[in-house]
């Protein structure tokens, strides 16, 4: 069952998180006894992860979370997706030091699923934790085996400096704004302050492709792959070109919006919550968090799920299982939120007394999830190793239309051909919001 | 082995006895090292670039490389950087080397200052220059502090790629001139003092000494420096990445991007093979152009 009912679960989970943040019943942190029953080996192992791989995040994880796991010594190694995949493949051919891996849904999907242990017994053991059922289903990646156990989740929102609010188009609320109104807002700021202070993360390590895939395309076209060269898509790109005129030109170097928000170069920034958190943390009184803008087809947003898996070459399987057990206890889930600003997958893990910056962000996430027009888009599913080339299609389309001013429909037609080749190579069926397909998803 | 001991010795022993033994023995570690860590991987990478369609050898990876959106720009930018950065560095390094070689009081301190960038990694250098050229960077702060500008100058905007290229040239020149300097300074110190004494005797001016003694005698060092710098210029990556992001694509970034982000090792290998081919071509021309004839060495 590739085509999941996950959107509902995402919306539900984020909604629950948000209501818990809003002062609702928070879970009482508990600690958990040992893992799956087998004696836990104390053999040290490496945790390889594509998440939390910046220096500050890694340090926080080591000092505040890994230090609490005492069964075996765990060394954290943050990597980008390429070396992450290479190391897992390389270690599968020899004896490795990696015991457990942490990555996004797509990081697991990019690899041969047979490289991973089936975690179904562990999942059964951890059943009472209260993982949303659809998260567990996503963790199977369409197979019958549990490839990963859900670990953390996140989404993308707007970080807004309060100074920008006075320039909002009249009658428009920051919590309910269309892409066209966002452009007008950015134009007002640019005209009246003389500086372009809206920001899109479009640097080489940015997540711009996710904003295009999970927010803009669905909001304008109601799809992504099937509607790639549609008339609605052409409108989207025209509007994005418009917005870009009033966007800080340094956006092409911005990978994380938080630094630009903090320095004041950007007043309105659209990014992943973990890439906004330092702005909220540094100056909680200066910022508000707002939902993503909406388009003609609604407010689409992408929910990001990270999981923990155990490679078959694991240096310490019992240790790794005990580690996943530890990382998904309510206490550690709550601590993950407060140390690295990724939201827990266990909705009851939210502490009632969140620090101000997390409260701000949780409010933004809540407004987004509960918005009347809110709909969830999924991360690409089933692309395997073609995930990178899939992202490149959107990034190249952006470069050609927005930066190089090429003809919109011509670029869309050409990029759609490349996109179709990627879909055919990976044989990936459509995922939401595209309607389900038998066989590879087809551009219409 | 009593019979005709000298001729019947097994192969290794025969070499060991011959007068080539010492040079071959000394070269062996280098040859083994180069074969294992350079030659074999290079051959593998080149082979990989022809294997994009599984099970066959063909030019699919090259076809996709040249039709890629960023290909033309990255080729142009790489060549542009080469043409603009290498001469600037050569002239700067030569001037700095001559300055230090003139042995004025305190020249040792200058050597240390000039060589400082050698100790800094590419990416760190790029980030340092980013903090200088950013909108709220040191340069803009200084300019507005001095009352020279009202609004910050956007040095790194895609709207003005010449300025972006300029910042990359400044940063690259700062970062990599030192390696040229060190090579040239070593070359300068190898020039026998007798030449300078003879020149002094005939009353040669400083300019004449530089043109007629220093530059010709420095040719082997210039050749090495040019080759090394050109190879580095083809590999320019981290500084460009930090300062210009995706605005100024270069070949080595494309190779990286195809491998790490797009997960297509075949097209990445095609880019790498192209860089290799271009590097070899340029080095070949340097070797021809600046050839040091045997007669000149013996002179």
Distance, in Å, from the CA atom of A168 to the CA atom of A158, rounded to the nearest integer, reads 14
* Residue range B110-169, pLDDT digits in tens: 888 888 888 888 889 999 999 999 887 899 899 988 988 887 788 887 778 888 999 999
Distance, in Å, from the CA atom of A202 to the CA atom of A69, rounded to the nearest integer, reads 37
* Residue range B186-233, pLDDT digits in tens: 999 999 988 888 988 888 888 888 888 888 889 889 888 999 999 888
Examine residue A249 and state whether it is found in any structural domain, yes or no: yes
Partners of A272 in the β-ladder = A156
Interval B267-271 mean pLDDT: 96
Residue B296 has what pLDDT?
A: 56
Provide the sign of the torsion angle of the four alpha carbons A229, B70, A255, A147, taken in this order. positive
pLDDT at residue B34 tops 90: yes
CATH code of residue A401: 3.40.190.10
Contact assignment for B158 to A83 by CB distance below 8 Å: no
pLDDT band at B294 (very low <50, low <70, confident <90, very high): low
Residue A8 has what pLDDT?
A: 45
Examine residue A85 and state whether it is found in any structural domain, yes or no: yes
- Asked if residue A316 lies in contact with residue A107, where contact means CB atoms within 8 angstroms, the answer is no
Partners of A46 in the β-ladder = A75, A98
Dihedral pair phi/psi, residue A232, rounded to 5°? -65, -35
- Of A338, A360, A376, the residue that ends a domain is A376
Q: Which long-range contacts (CB under 8 A, 24 or more apart) does B258-263 make?
A: B259/A82, B260/A80, B260/A81, B260/A82, B260/A83, B261/A81, B261/A82, B261/A388, B261/A391, B261/A392, B262/A388, B262/A389, B262/A391, B262/A392, B263/A81, B263/A82, B263/A85, B263/A110, B263/A385, B263/A386, B263/A387, B263/A388, B263/A389
Q: What is the 3-state secondary structure (H, E, C) of chain B?
A: CCCCHHHHCCHHHHHHHCCCHHHHHHHHHHHHHHHHHHHHHHHHHHHHHCCCCCCCCCCHHHHHHHCCCCHHHHHHHHHHHHHHHHHHHHHHHHHHHHHHHCCCCCHHHHHHHHHHHHHCCHHHHHHHHHHHHCCCCHHHHHHHHCCCCCCCCCCCCHHHHHHHHHHHHHHHHHHHHHHHHHHHHHHHHHCCHHHHHHHHHCCCCHHHHHHHHHHHHCHHHHHHHHHHHHHHHHHCCHHHHHHHHHHCCCHHHHHHHHHHHCCCHHHHHHHHHHHHHHHHHHHHHHHHHCCCCHHHHHC
Query: Do A133 and A13 belong together in one domain?
Result: yes
Q: What is the mean pLDDT of each run of 10 residues along chain A (444 residues)?
A: 42 46 35 55 94 89 93 93 88 91 88 93 91 85 91 92 95 94 96 94 90 95 95 96 93 90 94 92 94 94 91 94 94 89 79 84 84 85 82 94 94 96 90 88 93
ipTM of the complex: 0.75
Examine residue A403 and state whether it is found in any structural domain, yes or no: yes
Examine residue A217 and state whether it is found in any structural domain, yes or no: yes
Residue A270, burial from CB neighbour count under 10 angstroms (0-12, 13-18, 19+): buried
Examine residue A437 and state whether it is found in any structural domain, yes or no: no
State the nearest Cα–Cα gap between B132 and chain A, in angstroms: 14
Query: Do A92 and A198 belong together in one domain?
Result: no
Query: Do A307 and A296 belong together in one domain?
Result: no
Compute the mean pLDDT over every residue in chain B, rounded to the nearest whole number: 86
Residues of chain A contacting residue B262, judged by C-beta atoms under 8 Å apart: 388-389, 391-392
Contact assignment for B260 to A83 by CB distance below 8 Å: yes
Task: Give chain A's domain count.
Answer: 2
Domains (range + CATH), chain B: 71-248 (1.10.3720.10)
Query: Do A134 and A17 belong together in one domain?
Result: yes
Contact assignment for A204 to B245 by CB distance below 8 Å: yes
Residues of chain B contacting residue A250, judged by C-beta atoms under 8 Å apart: 134-135, 154, 156-157
Examine residue A443 and state whether it is found in any structural domain, yes or no: no
Percent of chain B with pLDDT over 90: 40
Examine residue A28 and state whether it is found in any structural domain, yes or no: yes
Residue A28 has what pLDDT?
A: 35
Residue A25 has what pLDDT?
A: 33
Contact assignment for A253 to B130 by CB distance below 8 Å: yes
Query: Do A93 and A143 belong together in one domain?
Result: yes
Query: Do A87 and A37 belong together in one domain?
Result: yes
Query: Do A169 and A59 belong together in one domain?
Result: no
- Asked if residue A40 lies in contact with residue A319, where contact means CB atoms within 8 angstroms, the answer is yes
- Of A357, A376, A395, the residue that ends a domain is A376
Residue B14 has what pLDDT?
A: 66
The token duo for A412 is 């869309």
State the nearest Cα–Cα gap between A86 and chain B, in angstroms: 10
Contact assignment for B263 to A399 by CB distance below 8 Å: no
Interval B33-40 mean pLDDT: 95
Query: Do A224 and A324 belong together in one domain?
Result: no
Residue A366 has what pLDDT?
A: 80
Contact assignment for A204 to B246 by CB distance below 8 Å: yes
Distance, in Å, from the CA atom of A435 to the CA atom of B77, rounded to the nearest integer, reads 42
Residues of chain A contacting residue B157, judged by C-beta atoms under 8 Å apart: 249-250
Residue B241 has what pLDDT?
A: 87
| Domain, as residue range, for A78 | 6-155+303-376
Distance, in Å, from the CA atom of B262 to the CA atom of A392, rounded to the nearest integer, reads 7
Tokens 């071509």 -> residue: B281
Examine residue A359 and state whether it is found in any structural domain, yes or no: yes
Distance, in Å, from the CA atom of A343 to the CA atom of A381, rounded to the nearest integer, reads 21
Query: Do A249 and A145 belong together in one domain?
Result: no
Interval B70-86 mean pLDDT: 92
State the nearest Cα–Cα gap between B241 and chain A, in angstroms: 8
Query: Do A342 and A281 belong together in one domain?
Result: no
């Amino acid at each position: 069952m590739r085509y999941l009912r996950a959107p509902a679960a995402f919306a539900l989970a984020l909604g629950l998180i948000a209501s818990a943040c809003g002062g609702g019943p928070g879970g009482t942190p508990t600690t958990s006894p040992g893992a799956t029953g087998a004696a836990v080996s104390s053999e040290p192992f490496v945790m390889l992860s594509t998440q939390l791989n910046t220096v500050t995040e890694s340090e926080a994880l080591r000092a505040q979370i890994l230090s609490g796991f005492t069964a075996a010594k765990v060394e954290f190694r943050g990597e980008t997706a390429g070396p992450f995949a290479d190391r897992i493949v390389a270690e599968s051919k020899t004896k490795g030091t990696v015991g457990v891996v942490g990555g996004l849904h797509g990081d697991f999907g990019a690899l041969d699923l047979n490289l991973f242990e089936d975690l179904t017994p562990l999942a059964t053991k951890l059943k009472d934790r209260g993982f949303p059922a659809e998260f567990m289903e996503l963790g199977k990646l369409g197979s019958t085996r549990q490839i990963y156990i859900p670990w953390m989740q996140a989404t993308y929102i707007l970080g807004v400096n309060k100074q920008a609010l006075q320039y909002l188009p009249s009658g428009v609320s920051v919590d309910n704004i269309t892409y066209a109104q966002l452009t007008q807002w950015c134009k007002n700021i640019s005209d009246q302050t003389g500086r372009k202070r809206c920001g899109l993360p479009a640097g080489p390590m940015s997540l711009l492709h996710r904003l295009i895939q999970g927010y803009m395309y669905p909001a304008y076209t109601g799809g992504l792959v099937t509607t790639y060269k549609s008339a609605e898509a052409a409108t989207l790109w025209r509007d994005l070109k418009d917005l870009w005129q009033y966007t800080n030109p340094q956006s092409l170097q911005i990978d994380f919006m938080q630094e630009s928000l903090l320095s004041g170069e950007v007043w309105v920034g659209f990014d992943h919550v973990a890439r906004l958190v330092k702005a909220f943390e540094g100056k909680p009184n200066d910022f508000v968090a707002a939902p993503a803008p909406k388009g003609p087809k609604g407010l689409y947003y992408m929910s990001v799920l990270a999981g923990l898996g155990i490679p078959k070459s694991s240096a310490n399987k019992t240790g790794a299982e005990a580690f996943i057990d530890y990382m998904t206890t309510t206490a550690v889930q709550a601590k993950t939120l407060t140390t690295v600003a990724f939201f827990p997958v266990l909705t009851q893990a939210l502490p009632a007394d969140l620090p101000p910056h997390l409260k701000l962000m949780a409010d933004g996430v809540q407004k987004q999830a509960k918005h009347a027009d809110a709909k969830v888009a999924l991360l690409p599913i089933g692309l395997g190793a073609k995930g990178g080339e899939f992202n490149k299609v959107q990034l190249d389309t952006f470069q050609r239309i927005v930066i190089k001013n090429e003809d919109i429909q011509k670029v869309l037609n050409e990029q759609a051909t490349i996109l179709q080749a990627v879909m055919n190579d990976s044989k990936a069926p459509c995922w939401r919001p595209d309607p389900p397909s038998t066989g590879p998803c087809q551009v219409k | 082995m009593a019979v005709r001991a000298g001729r019947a010795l097994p192969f290794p022993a025969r070499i060991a006895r011959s007068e080539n033994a010492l040079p071959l023995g000394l070269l062996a570690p280098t040859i083994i090292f180069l074969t294992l860590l350079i030659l074999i991987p290079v051959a593998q990478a080149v082979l990989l670039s022809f294997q994009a369609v599984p099970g066959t050898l063909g030019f699919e990876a090259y076809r996709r490389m040249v039709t890629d959106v960023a290909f033309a720009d990255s080729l142009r930018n790489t060549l542009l950087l080469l043409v603009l950065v290498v001469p600037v560095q050569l002239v700067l390094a030569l001037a700095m080397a001559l300055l230090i070689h003139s042995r004025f009081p305190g020249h040792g301190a200058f050597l240390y200052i000039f060589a400082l960038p050698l100790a800094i990694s590419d990416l760190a250098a790029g980030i340092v220059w980013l903090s200088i050229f950013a909108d709220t960077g040191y340069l803009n702060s200084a300019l507005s502090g001095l009352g020279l500008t009202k609004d910050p100058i956007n040095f790194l905007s895609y709207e003005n790629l010449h300025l972006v290229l300029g910042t990359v040239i400044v940063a690259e020149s700062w970062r990599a001139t030192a390696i040229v300097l060190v090579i040239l300074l070593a070359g300068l110190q190898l020039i026998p003092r007798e030449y300078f004494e003879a020149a002094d005797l005939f009353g040669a001016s400083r300019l004449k000494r530089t043109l007629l003694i220093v530059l010709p005698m420095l040719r082997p060092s210039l050749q090495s420096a040019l080759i090394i710098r050109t190879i580095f210029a083809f590999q320019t990556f981290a500084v460009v990445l930090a300062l210009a992001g995706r605005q100024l694509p270069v070949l080595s970034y494309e190779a990286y991007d195809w491998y790490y982000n797009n997960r297509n090792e075949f097209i990445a290998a095609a880019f790498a093979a192209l860089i290799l081919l271009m590097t070899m071509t340029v080095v070949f021309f340097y070797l021809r152009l600046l050839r040091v004839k045997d007669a000149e060495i013996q002179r």
